[in-house]
Amino acid sequence: MTLITTTVPAPTAAHYRFRGVLGSEWTKLRSVRSTTWTLVATIAVTIGIGILATATEAGRWAHASPIDRLTYDPTSLSLTGLLFGQLALGILGVMVMSAEFGTGTIRATLAAVPNRPLFLAAKTAVFAVVALVVGEVVSFGAFFIGQMLLSGSAPHATLGQAGVLRAVAGGGLYLAVLGLFALGLATIIRHTAGAISAFVGVLLILPLITQALPSSIRNTIGKFEPAHIGNAMTSVNTSSLQQGFMPSFSPWVGLAVMCGYAALTLGVGGWLLMRRDA
């Protein structure tokens, strides 16, 4: 009797090249209904609240106090909605990763792409592009509509003025990097509710806790808070930042700190992804 054996070739890198994995992650992202609704919510909330803020200010400018006029920042005013839009985009960043763990599809994904760092890099790259495009669209959209509403009733800003283009573009960058930070949290925690709770805690609860601390500690910790960094990045009139009597990083230094947060969570998440079972 002759024993016939066959050898199944091991998967090669050609089976999951980075370009192919990118295409797979893009298909997953755009085919999920929650992605569309979350992006629509981000656009609607960010621009809508910016419209409300600028329309209200345009109506009350004639009776504004000297302090209000001193701290007036039309650019930051039109970007007020970013405070709420960042929640929507951050939640999407969480769900992009946590949904795969919640439904169990992560096992099929890692079976198709055994190279886990490659999988995480592709998912991060796809989400980063989407978040950056959406972030810049809502930031510039809110700015142009807001300045149109202010025009004729209150001083308004143009992109040619010093610091305005930086602030508007910085708003989109801030949203994108914050979304990547949320994606990293979801990679670490792997549970939707837990990751969203952690994200909201860092973004909204931490500043409340900081305010209760002594001023020396508050000033040291406060400038590292993502919300405070975002406020500094989207402001042109620095006197408006001084209302809280808290020092701030310069906009680009603040962006670098935010990138560090995102890199840290994604790095830890990637390390845990390599060590834990799906």
Domain assignment of residue 4, yes or no: no
CB-count burial class (<10 Å; 0-12, 13-18, 19+) for 113: buried
Domain assignment of residue 260, yes or no: yes
What is the reported pTM? 0.89
pLDDT at 162 over 80: yes
pLDDT at 32 over 90: no
Domain assignment of residue 226, yes or no: yes
The percentage of residues in the chain with a pLDDT greater than 90, rounded to a whole number, is 58
> Nearest 5 degrees, angle CA 78-CA 79-CA 82?
150
How confident is the model at residue 112, as a pLDDT? Answer: 87
Q: How many domains does the chain have?
A: 1
Q: What is the mean pLDDT of residues 46-72?
A: 89
Domain assignment of residue 177, yes or no: yes
pLDDT at 215 over 90: no
Per the structure, the complete domain to which residue 39 belongs is given by: 19-275
Domain assignment of residue 7, yes or no: no
Tokens of 94: 């969480």
Domain assignment of residue 240, yes or no: yes
How confident is the model at residue 92, as a pLDDT? Answer: 94
Helices (H) and strands (E) in the chain, counts: 13, 0
Confidence band of 15 (pLDDT split at 50, 70, 90): low
Q: What is the mean pLDDT of residues 74-91?
A: 92
How confident is the model at residue 277, as a pLDDT? Answer: 78
The amino acid sitting at 91 is: I
pLDDT at 81 over 60: yes
Nearest to 84 by CA among 125, 120, 41: 41
How confident is the model at residue 34, as a pLDDT? Answer: 82
